[in-house]
Amino acid sequence: MNEWTDSVLGDVLPLKYGKNLPETKRISGDVPVYSSAGHIGFHDSAVVSEPSIIVGRKGSVGTVYYEQRACFPIDTAFYTVGSDDINLRFGYYALLNANLSQHSQDSAVPGLNRDTYSSIPLSLPSAKEQDAIAEVLAALDDKIVANIKLATTADELVRAEFDLMSSMCDEQITVGELVTNNRHSANPELLATCVPYVGLEHIPRRFMWLQTHGDSSEVSSNKSHFEAGDVLFGKLRPYFHKIVSAPIAGICSTDVLVLRPKTTELAGFILAAISHDNVVRAVTAASQGTRMPRTGWNDLSAISIPWPGHQAAESFSSKVAVIREHVISILAENQDLMATRDALLPQLMSGTRRVKAIGDPTD
């Protein structure tokens, strides 16, 4: 069996400041900076044009992204391109396994200290085994990303088809004529364990498919009950555009409106209509409050949307239903893939489970 070499993170994955990169640009304070893995901040951004690992140092302390090309905020993140001693993709998984957030400074604004990071121990297998471990874990992640891209394409397709249909509509119908606002209250303490729970934090922005959720053991106050096929509409700061189709039954935050189609045959049409940008703009304009604007059922139910007639709406709905079921399937597959990856990660990084590297002798 190959021996692992003891090292520290600072020797093999040294952190660097974005301000030292030759390419930087100013991003407007109200425009988020993204990596392909998610939103990581605002303000001045640096651009890394080679495979890199981005590490959150303030705010999102310890978050880790692996990117081929990254745009990231100078003031809230480090980056590293690794060293000759490590496969960079393996290094990314090593940092995930290191749980960097537990090493954040205990202060009013938690942060990742570079000296503390640099002294964290790390064991390294041979270069060939690093490659093999990275290949196994990356295969799972790449499949997850491919599934998300399919779901994104599905979202874009539904929106485009709805826009096309809307351009030919002469009639209007109100949201309240199509859905009811379900207000069935649920006490988590009286529910069976592990009932799916959806909070605003689980609902993505401008993406109509729910990718993740918590469970009822995480909450204690009363929530709202929802059924599969309901539309969940985030009413706090509605401009965040948090509107999804519920793939399963469960409970959700009371900051979420539960919209139930009056006719199940129109569920797909209703999802596309209510998640449209025009509806979000109208709800935002009518919302109450300045710092924390909030919409309500009365405002939402009164909004008008294009109406193609019952037959055309039902035909459109049937197409969306097929797309929705496929998306639900691939996103459920993602949950299994992530569970497999998360189970393998600590085992592969500790050497308790080995991956046979090409060219290495059999253990």
Closest CA to 230 of 193, 174, 190, 275: 275
What's the average pLDDT block by block, 10 residues per block, for the chain (363 residues)?
A: 85 89 59 48 70 85 85 81 94 95 74 91 94 96 95 97 97 98 90 89 96 90 96 96 97 97 98 98 90 93 98 98 98 96 95 72 47
Question: What's the rounded Cα separation, in Å, for the pair 6 and 114?
Answer: 19
- Beta-strand relationship, 77-80 and 52-56: antiparallel
Torsion of CA 29, 63, 100, 13, to 10 degrees: -90
Q: Which two tokens stand for residue 304?
A: 């008008």
**Using an 8 Å Cβ cutoff, are 118 and 10 in contact?**
yes
Question: How far is residue 97 from each of residues 37, 91, 121, 133, 203, measured CA to CA in Å?
Answer: 17, 10, 12, 13, 26
What's domain 153-324's architecture? Alpha-Beta Complex (3.90)
Q: Which two tokens stand for residue 197?
A: 């729970």
Alpha helices in the chain (DSSP H): 9-12, 88-98, 114-118, 127-166, 267-274, 277-286, 297-301, 310-350
Q: What is the pLDDT of residue 28?
A: 46
Token pair 């993406």: residue? 207
Question: What's the rounded Cα separation, in Å, for the pair 82 and 116?
Answer: 17
Torsion of CA 241, 147, 54, 123, to 10 degrees: 140
- State which amino acid sits at residue 312: A
Q: What is the pLDDT of residue 362?
A: 45
Output the pTM of the full model: 0.84
Q: What is the pLDDT of residue 190?
A: 83
Report residue 253: phi and psi, to 5°.
-60, 150
Question: What's the rounded Cα separation, in Å, for the pair 62 and 45?
Answer: 18
CATH top-level class of 5-123: alpha beta
If one counts every other C-beta atom within 10 angstroms of the C-beta of residue 144, the result is 19
Give ranges for CATH 3.90.220.20 in the chain.
5-123, 153-324
Question: What's the rounded Cα separation, in Å, for the pair 72 and 125?
Answer: 30
